[in-house]
Structure 1
Amino acid sequence: MRTFLDFESSIAELEGKIAELKAIGAEGNSIQMDEEVRQLEQKVSRSLTQIYDSLQPWQKMQVARHPERPHFVDYARFLFTDFTPLSGDRKFSEDRAIIGGPARFQGESVLIIGHEKGADTASRLNHNFGMARPEGYRKAVRLMEMADRFSLPIISFIDTAGAYPGIGAEERGQAEAIARSTECCLRVGVPLISIIIGEGGSGGAVALATANVVLMLEHAIYSVISPEGASSILWRDSTRAKDAATAMKITADDLKRLGVIDDIIHEPVGGAHRSPDEAMTAVGEAISSNLLRLRHLNPDELRRARREKFLAIGRNL
């Protein structure tokens, strides 16, 4: 059963009619039903194109958070082979909000790492909704340092509302762990490519996205704080989250124009959740082309380019 967003009500109605006609067609009059179904499917396609070509920032945020959108584990399964998840930060415990380990991409050894939100209630609780604690970021540092030691390109997938803000996480040094992970991204001498596949929130995202190349899916979002959080701080009114989403420039188009990201990966009509395989294939092609370009740079050149890239953002904004 597909989940429809509030601005997709017309699409939900049309697809409901299509399902009814297909059920009737299965009982008889299939030729007549097939023609009506075909016409309705064409109308759905046109409506989806029209709606998704003019999404507002708040609507893009809803698409980025869609529960059926491909998650890190889906990309790991679809794009990579021989993926071996590695656990623990060797200091405190395992954090399932961040998953990572060595894998092969088109025959090349790489290290992949990413936030995992989970797909149902049990897995969301297991992965803490993709909100990592300090041990998650310390595990990320351990894995990135391992990749650097064995000259493995790093590919990170960003999908988190932000780092976990609990008391225990703060007591164990959440801010320091995020800073160490960000510093590690800048320090490694291997190609580092980050893809924002859903929600890129605050330092919890930057800790894995301080990369040579930052790519962003068309309907993903990337921000220093959630629109709900920003509206509560700025106006003390969480109902103004829509205004905050617009003012914060959280969409891929805005961030590409500001130079915060390097490129946009276009999604299938209706969003990545409608055609996950097509969306993940596009991500794989973007990773491949950028790895090919970065492979020729030596460690010092990679570090210098990465640091200059982020210093330039501060100069240009």
Structure 2
Amino acid sequence: MEYLDFELPIKELEDQLDKCQIIGQESDVDVSNTCKQIEKKLEETKKKIYKNLTAWQRVQLSRHPNRPYTLEHITNITNGTFLELFGDRSFKDDKAMVGGLGQINGQSFMIIGQQKGINTKMRQYRNFGMANPEGYRKALRLMKMAEKFNIPVLTLIDTPGAYPGLEAEERGQGEAIARNIFEMARLKTPIISVIIGEGASGGALGIGVGDRVYMLENTWYSVISPESCSSILWRSWEYKEQAAEALKLTSFDMKKQKLIDDIIPEPLGGAHYDKETTFKSVAEFVTKAFNELKDLSTKDLVAQRMDKYSKMGEFKE
């Protein structure tokens, strides 16, 4: 298990507990009371730390290397029924964007999401979850296929942003994302979006226009990352914590602003502490959302989606 800087008190107590248990196993000394005291203190420390997280600490948790990524979510919530589909039928297959058909609680879904990679080699292969234009065009192709066969769409968002390279711009990165937003707004099948990690800028929005949009508790969703915001405003990354607070990017901030529909709770410590519970929660929210949307007519479905996004950003002073 890897620990973030604010989790070091937890690491120290877990190390003490391990040593205490080893002493009890290797000697005749009764250390059961000592172990119980350490366990109690460990639980209290976890609650104190994780119940009072700052915006920047939640950003750090969303990037935790042990956190489940898109393909792990897909494999578990579909119970291995996922059939991956490839290519945009124009340029090539983008490894940062994955998609295909799978069943969740007996219902078929077209599932699309960004995959970051679980180690250095795989992260390079997946381009760190930053999709090129062909990735967004692949996603749109799969959405159109789902619309044709009346299959609901599920998108899993986890990206630091769309790939900003010269070659991506040459192939129409901005147009590809804009086209996805336009087409998703009027897609004639239910769309459910779940932010499972980072939701950065247009890279996230390119597959994030949904009838229901959920965020896992320790994720973020914003037009820009805290580091980039800090570098623009202060010419330094040192103010990333201030930027994170100012951006109002946490799941709680997003729900308060009515930009998402609900927050999916995570186990104490984050999704990586109890992955099975996290997968179960995601599947339950997706099924609940689909049940709310499945009986709507195509006209009402699209009208409600349009109305939902038209209302965003309205404020009275």
What is the TM-score with the length of structure 1 in the denominator?
0.96
- C-alpha deviation, 1:204, in angstroms: 0.4
The total of aligned residue pairs comes to 315
The answer to whether the Cα contact below 8 Å between 1:133 and 1:169 also exists between their aligned partners in 2 is yes
Instruction: Report the residue type matching 1:9 in the other structure.
Output: L
Matched residues in 2 for 1:37 and 1:162: separation? 45
What is the deviation of 1:37?
Answer: 2.7
Question: Following superposition of structure 1 onto structure 2, how do residues 268-283 of structure 1 map, counting pairs within 5 Å?
Answer: 268-283=267-282
> Could you tell me which of 48, 51, 54 is aligned with 1:50?
48
Tell me which residue corresponds to 1:239: 238
Question: What secondary structure is seen at the aligned counterpart in 2 of 1:95?
Answer: coil
State how far apart, in whole Å, the 2-side matches of 1:242 and 1:11 are: 22
Alignment-derived partner of residue 215 in structure 2: 216
Q: For residue 300 of structure 1, what is the aligned residue in structure 2?
A: 299
Confirm or deny: 8 A CA contact 1:228 1:238 kept in the other structure.
Answer: yes
Structure 2 letter corresponding to 1:239: E
The residue type paired with residue 76 of structure 1 is I
Alpha-carbon shift at residue 60 of structure 1 (Å) = 0.7
Report the equivalent of 2:206: 207
Q: Distance in 2 between matches of 1:41 and 1:198?
A: 29
Post-superposition offset of 1:263? 0.3
CA drift at 1:17 = 1.1
Correspondence list, 1:183-202, <5 A: 183-202=182-201
* 1:62 matched to 2:50: no
- Partners in 2 of 1:96 and 1:133 — Cα distance? 9
1:123-172 Cα distance to aligned partner (Å, 9 max, x none): 11111111101110000000000000011111110000100111111111
> How far is 1:182 from its partner?
1.3
C-alpha separation between the residues in 2 aligned to 1:301 and 1:123?
42
Aligned mates of 1:24, 1:121 — CA distance in 2: 37
User: Residue 193 of structure 2: SS of its match in structure 1?
Assistant: strand
- Structure 1 stretches of 5 or more lacking a match? none
What letter corresponds to residue 53 of structure 2 in structure 1? Answer: L
Aligned position for 1:252: 251
CA distance in 2, matches of 1:225, 1:261: 17
Contact preservation (8 Å) 1:189, 1:298: no
SS of aligned partner of 1:63: helix
> 1:173 aligned to 2:172?
yes
Alpha-carbon distance in 1 for matches of 2:33, 2:186? 60
3-state SS in 1 of match to 2:312: helix
Query: 2: CA distance between counterparts of 1:232 and 1:307?
Result: 35
**Counterparts of 1:29 and 1:182 in 2: how far apart (Å)?**
66
Query: What's 1:110 paired with?
Result: 109
- For 2:263, the equivalent position in structure 1 comes to 264
1:246 offset after TM fit, Å? Answer: 0.5
Inter-partner Cα distance in structure 2 for 1:36 and 1:77: 41
Deviation at residue 25 of structure 1 after TM alignment: 2.8
Matched to 1:147, the amino acid is A
Give the drift of 1:27: 1.9
Q: How does 1:70-81 map to 2 (within 5 A)?
A: 70-81=68-79
Q: Which amino acid aligns with 1:11?
A: I
The verdict on how the C-alpha distance between 1:29 and 1:35 changes in structure 2, with shifts beyond 3 A counting, is farther
For 2:26 and 2:265, the matched residues in 1 are separated by 40
Q: Which amino acid aligns with 1:134?
A: P
Greater displacement, 43-52 / 3-12: 43-52
Give the letter for the 2:274 counterpart. S
Q: 1:15 matched to which residue of 2?
A: 14
Distance of 1:34 and 1:165 partners within structure 2:
56
Shift of 1:85: 0.6
- Structure 2 residue aligned with 1:133: 132
Quote how far apart the aligned CAs of 1:234 are: 1.8
CA contact 1:199–1:222 (8 Å) conserved in 2: yes
CA offsets per residue over residues 253-306 of structure 1, 9 Å max, x none? 111010111101111111111111111111111111111111111111111111
Give me the identity figure in percent. Answer: 44
User: Could you list the per-position Cα deviations for residues 14-64 of structure 1 after superposition, in whole angstroms to 9, with x for gaps in the alignment?
Assistant: 01112222333332337x234433332222121111111110101110011
- TM-score normalised by structure 2 residue count: 0.96
In structure 2, distance between residues paired with 1:38 and 1:11: 15
Corresponding residue number in structure 2 for 1:85:
84
Deviations 1:66-95 (A, max 9, x none): 111111111111110421111111111111
Asked if the contact 1:131/1:164 (under 8 Å) is kept, the reply is: yes
Aligned to 2:146: 147
- Report the Cα offset of residue 101 of structure 1: 0.4
